[in-house]
Each structure stands twice: as structure tokens, then as C-alpha cells.
Amino acid sequence: MTPDTPDRLLRVDLSTRTVESVPVPEAWLRRYVGGKGLGARYLYEELEAGVDPLGPSNALLFMLGPLSGRLPGESRYAAVTKSPLTGGFLDSYAGGSFPDALVGALGPNAGLLVTGQADEPVRVVVEDGAATVEPTDAWGEDTIETAAAHPDAAVACIGPAGEREVAYATIASDEGDHHAGRGGAGAVMGSKRLKAVVARGEPPALEDERLTALREAFAERYRDDETGRWLRASETVESVDFANEVGALSTRGWADGRFEDADAIGVGAVRERATGRENESADADTDDPGGFRVETDEGDYVPRGAASMSLGAGLGINEFDAVAQLGQTCDRLGVDLISAGSAVAWTIKAADAALLERSLDFGDPDGARRLLEEIAARETPLGDALADGVDAAAERFGGDDLVPTVKAMALPAYDPRGAQSMALAYATSDRGACHRRARPIEREVFDGEWSPDRTAETVVAEQDRRSILWCLIVDDFVGEAFDDLGAAWLDAVGLEPLGDLATVGERVWNLTRLFNVREGVTRSDDVLPSPLREPLESGPNAGEAVDRERFEATLDRYYRKRGWGPDGRPTRATVERLDLAEAVDNDSLLASSTSSVPEE
């Protein structure tokens, strides 16, 4: 490795307020590279099975990759922890100014590992390769107020939802413009009484000629790449239009696959309202300009596609200003807007089914906003139940078949009844229902229905690819143009992985599976949610449902391609092939054989 490649880890114990920089084992760097992989290895090492995600023994890591601050596109960091929502492995990512500042602030450290629990609200200040734990008076402030109090630094913080340990609370940065959103990393911060991580630093100047040449060549390639052109033109808000066109846009609590008023909340509406782009100095012809900025009654806002999908179509709300206001409410409170949209949709359907005494309808943004504030404050029995997730509310009130979840995580708004490969992608995601681990919908809708074998093969390949890109922590969209998975970049910084990068991605995916198996995850958790077995009411896929037998056959093939047993546990042969034997501390985590299901 080059001398400036981070090879240490900054450990912070909030209980004792001690800080220590420790070397990362070289073998771990070669096996897991950084980011997701290295964070997963530390989490697996630090935690015993059954640790309370909201207890002092849980660990929360803020991880960078070996190329952080050097790659084109938006820098990101990974928040890695045990999820209070799912009880399993969680890695969540956010961009903006905070990751760049963290690169400079951490110096020789590849990340920050936080354990323990403070006896009062604190912040951790990272600067010059060191950290301090300081008291803070920001407890009770929202994410915008907390960040604004640190004009000289970049801040990753929680809002009221994180303070009250809402199970899908986010970690917000850039005054709420960016969030490590899914799975509740913000609740873990709240349980530790950690209000904010404050980073003061600048990424190192790119002086190495080889890295400079790589960056210039790749930036040019990305500008010409289909994904790069799409992102500059539309950012993620065009996802609304795409999903609606193919009949896979979850609408009114998963009843329909097409929203008749999608134009009012889609990319056209956002462009019409935009006052500029997120990265104001960026040249849209040459760089990533970021999201669209719009002005609302509550101030500046950057709408993302998920807001219009989950808080717009998902709740039957057809006014852009109303959707933007709901998105801002989620950002300010520090709550995952996908989970929040599902919580509101579940409430509407539960009330319709007479499970609740609540007056709330689809198309009611004011009622939705009031409910979101109840959830963040846990101020009513319903809000308190929903703060622990839809599954927790259903256990208390009934209605476990109203909106779909996997491993307690609400599904994003891409409906598998419009592209059935997404059912497998959601079911096998290592952090619960997630469209970022694999998104085969983008191809299946143009090819027609795939066979179980093709579906399994595609999902496995996409999961492994994204797994290694998240070890490098490459911007999700920039990573689409990485034809060598980043091998040339790692070679330039002198990091030689153990095996090719595709194998590293597969190794890390199996490590997170082993973590989840140790926490009790079985085949029964890789589930097809019951609402998806009901046919869509309208749209191009009206009458379509996900067939359970076909899903189970596809899951069999997925396990076989993974080298897992029919119960979803990796086999000893797979663990040894991937050089994971050093991590496995209990043979009972492993299957005895692979599935007997034949290939197609």
C-alpha cells in the first residue's frame, strides 16, 4: 500500500470517553478491502449473537473506502451496525460534504468505530486523525438546526426520531439533504446519546500522477455512460416516471401499479419547479450536478425519487408541494421516508379494516404529516407502535397482511408484481427489503418474464458487484461504469485484494449472511410478503401477482448458486473457497450440503 492509504481504525468508547487509533490487520484489508467489507468484519468480531441493537454493546461504524476522496462522483460513507429494525446486519450510505470532510479528518484511519453509551448527550469531533467526545446542548434540535450550529464543519447527526430511538431513524448530513436512511442507524446513535459526529478536514490533494490520470479518464468515460447521462439529466426523480410506465409503481398502499397523477410529482414537475442543482458550481455538461433544488414554504429542498414514490404515489398524493413538504418533514425529523410512507399507508389500510380508530385517507398530506410527527415523538400509542416498524404495529393491532415487509423492513416502491425478479432481490437482501442490493427490474421489464434460473443468476451477480463497490464506497451510479470493479484504482494505491474483486464481493456477501444466520435468520426470513401474492388492481400488470411456488423454486436456485444449503446457510465448502474460515466461530452456522434442486 502507499504510505497515505488508511490502515488504522479510530475507536471511541462513549462510556469511558476514551479514544484510540489501532492498526487494521493487513489480512483484513486484503480480504475485505474497506467500507462495507471491513465494517462487516469488525461488526462480526465485536458483537456477540443476540446483542441488543439499542444497548451499549452494539457498535456503530462510520467507514470509508481505500479510494475515498480520490474517485470521481459524489463521495459517500458507510454507516455499519446491527439494525434495531431488523435485528440483523445493516450498512447504510450517504453522500454530500460530510464524507469528504471525514476523509481529511480521519487521516490514517479508515473509519470510526463507536461503542458504549454516554451518560449525557454528546458529540464526537474528528480532526487531524484524532477524535474527542464533547457534551452538546443540541439534544432536542432537528437535523437542520443541529447542522447549522456547526458552520465551520461537516456534520452527521440525528433528529428527534433518532433521539427517541425510532427503529428507522436516519443519520442526516448537509442539513438534511443526505441521509444514511434505511434500517435505523440513527436510532443506534440515539441509544448511545450521540447527537452528532462533527468532521473538520479536507480530502488530500490528488498528487499521484497515476491516480490523476485514472480520475480524468474515468470521469470522461462516466460522462459518456448511459447512467451518467441519465443522472445529469434527471437524477433519481425520473424513477417515478419509469416505474409508472412499466406498471411497477406502488400506489395507494400497494393496491395499484400505476399512479394516474404521476406527471404531477415526477421529473417534469420537479424540473419545472427547480431553481438550480445541488452542486451549484458543477457544469452539467461535464460533472455530476446533483439533485434538483426547489423552494417551498419551508425553505430549500432537494427532492429524491423515493419521496415522490413512497410519499406521493404510495399515499395517493398528487400535489408536488405536498409531497415536498412531507419529504422535508422526514428530513427534519431524521426518519427514513420509505419506511415512513409505508407506516402511513399501513395506518390508512388498518383504519379501513376497522383495526384502528383513526381518520386518515389516501390523498391527505396534512393527516400524513401529523402521523409522522406522532411517530418521531412516540407521543401516542399508535405513534409509539409505528416507531418500531410496521411489523411491530401489526403485532399490536393486527393487519400483518396490509403492506409488504421483508425482515421487518418496508419494501421500496418498485412493485415485484410488475417485475417478479424484484421479489427475489428483496427477499435475499442482506439488510432487509432493499432495491439497491440488486435492481433487475431495469432489464426484466424489457425482456419479458425471466426463468427462475436467470433470475437467481442475475440477482447473485448484482449483489456481488454492488458488494465490492460498497467496499470501495463508490457512488452507486458512478459504479455502473466500473468495468473492472475498480481493480486499476486499487492497484494504483497498492492494495492487493485476496482474490479477484468479484470474489471479494462474494466473500463480503457471505460474511453478512453468516452474521445474519448467527442472529437467527433462516430461510423463513427470505420471504415473499403476503400482499405481493394478491393481484394488482390496475395498470399494465392488472391481475398479476407473484406466484409462491415459482418464488420458492427461484429461491432454491439462488441458494444453489450461492453455495448455500436449502435452509439458506453457507456450506463449509463455500466458506473455505472464499477464505472465510478465519471468521467462522461456530460450525452450527453452516449447512451440511447444498440444495439438491437441479439447474434449469
Instruction: Give per-residue pLDDT as tens, 468-514.
Output: 999 999 877 777 777 788 898 899 888 999 999 999 999 999 999 99
Among the residue ranges 112-126, 279-293, 415-429, the one predicted with the least confidence is: 279-293
Class of the 8-200 domain? alpha beta
Per-residue CA distances from 2 to 6, 66, 68, 217, 495 (Å): 9, 10, 14, 21, 8
Nearest CA-CA partner of 171 in 84, 50, 46, 258: 84
Please give the average per-residue pLDDT across 218-234, as a whole number: 81
Q: What is the mean pLDDT of residues 123-149?
A: 96
pLDDT of amino acid 600? 45
pTM strictly above 0.85: yes
Alpha helices (runs of H) in 130-199, residue ranges in sequence order: 143-148, 160-163, 185-191
- CA angle, 310 as apex, 309 and 311 as ends, to 5°? 100
Q: Nearest CA to 583 among 520, 518, 526, 525?
A: 518
Identical fold, 235-410 and 420-589: no
Q: What is the enclosing helix (H) or strand (E) of 327? A: helix 320-333
Please tell me the predicted confidence (pLDDT) of residue 281.
59
- The three-class DSSP label of residue 106 is helix
Q: Tell me how far apart the alpha carbons of residues 418 and 257 are, in angstroms, rounded to a whole number.
A: 7
Check if the beta carbon of residue 207 is closer than 8 Å to that of residue 274: no
Domain 235-410, CATH: 1.10.569.10
Mean pLDDT of 172-182: 93
**Annotated domain spans of the chain:** 8-200, 235-410, 420-589
- For 340-383, write each residue's pLDDT tens digit: 999 999 999 999 999 999 999 999 999 999 999 999 999 999 99
> Of the candidates 307, 334, 239, 235, which has an alpha carbon nearest to the alpha carbon of residue 278?
235
How would residue 228 be classed by pLDDT, with cut points 50, 70 and 90?
A: confident
Quick one: CA dihedral 359, 362, 364, 369, positive or negative? positive
Q: In what order do the strands lie in the sheet with 292-296?
A: 274-277, 292-296, 299-301
pLDDT digits (tens, 9 = 90+) for 391-435: 999 999 999 999 999 999 999 989 999 999 999 999 999 999 999
557-578 tens-digit pLDDT: 999 999 999 999 999 999 999 9
User: CA 112 → CA 100, 142, 188, 335, distances in Å?
Assistant: 14, 24, 15, 23
Mean pLDDT score, 127-151:
95
Q: Above 70 in pLDDT, residue 208?
A: yes
Residue with grid cell 410519499, as numbered in its chain? 311
| Among 116, 151, 135, CA closest to 196 | 135
From 73-77, 327-331, 370-374, 479-483, the region with the lowest mean pLDDT: 479-483
83-100 mean pLDDT = 96
Say what the pLDDT of residue 538 is.
85
CATH number of 420-589: 1.10.599.10
Measure the CA–CA gap between 6 and 105, rounded to whole angstroms: 12
Residue in this structure with the C-alpha cell 415459482, named with its chain if needed: 550
Instruction: Mark residue 253 as left, alpha or beta (left: phi above 0; alpha: psi -120 to 50; beta: remaining).
Output: left
Query: In 196-304, which residue ranges form alpha helices assigned H by DSSP?
Result: 209-224, 226-234, 238-245, 267-273
Cell of 119: 451518560
The label of the residue with cell 431488523 reads 86
Predicted pLDDT of residue 1? 65
